[in-house]
Structure 1
Amino acid sequence: MKAKDALGQAGERLAADYLEDHGIRVIDSNWRCASGEIDLVGLDGGELVIVEVKTRSSRRYGDPLEALTRAKLVRLRTLAVLWAREHQRVAAPLRIDAVGIVLGRTSAPCIDHLRGVA
């Protein structure tokens, strides 16, 4: 496994734990279809939450959340609809969140959670 892939998987596990600790029940992860991938899917009360996770080992090249582009957010909205259809949750209110994680070697992880980014 590539170091970048391992970092991404570690970040997604941390994000899932963080979300669970903050009342969002994670119900799916790494869902894929021909149009792309959703990192995490959760439920926050009755609201369906699609979560994009961005993990970096440092802020040397900027904050992880700076990697979210308008095109990525539009694609996430499309993927959210596809996920909801496949899982018969079309009527659920929908929210797109982002979690940015800096996972340094010597310091505790820094986790930023932005709600309703798209």
Structure 2
Amino acid sequence: MDRRKELGDAGEAVAAQYLSSLGMEILDRNWRCRGVGELDLVARDGDWLVVCEVKTRSGTAFGDPLESVTAAKHTRLRRLAAAWLGEHDVRPAGVRIDLIGVLHRTGQKPVLRHVRAVGQ
């Protein structure tokens, strides 16, 4: 397996466990929409649907993991959230986009940063 994919999968697992520990229900992982992209995690937080983008890095030489989420990516996440809702029988009170950055250095416990409701 590609080292980057392995790192990304590990970060998503840490993020899913973290969201679950907050009481969120994970509804979907790595959901794909042809021609638009992929949602890393979809969760329910009470009556809200949470679309969560997870960025994982093994170091900060190229910046903080969350610095790689651009305005274009944010727009794509909104389109993906709408597509996900169109395919699932879920009627949330609202939709929120969260970001989770995971710094996963070899031999160390992952460090996680969670930013709620970006761009809202």
Range into which the TM-score falls when normalised by the shorter chain? over 0.9
CA distance in 2, matches of 1:9, 1:2: 11
User: 1:41: which partner in 2?
Assistant: 42
**1:1-118 equivalence runs, <5 A:** 1-34=1-34, 35-90=36-91, 92-118=93-119
Report how many aligned residue pairs link the two structures.
118
Normalising by structure 2, we get a TM-score of 0.94
CA distance in 1, matches of 2:24, 2:17: 9
* Cα displacement string for residues 26-53 of structure 1 (whole angstroms, at most 9, x for unaligned residues): 1100000111100000000010000000
CA distance in 2, matches of 1:25, 1:45: 9
Q: Percent identity?
A: 47
Normalising by structure 1, we get a TM-score of 0.96
Which structure 1 segments of 5+ residues have no match? none
Contact 1:99 1:111 in 2 (8 A): yes
Which structure 2 segments of 5+ residues have no match? none
State the superposition RMSD in angstroms: 1.0
Alpha carbons of 1:91 and 1:112: their partners in 2 closer, same or farther (altered >3 Å)? closer
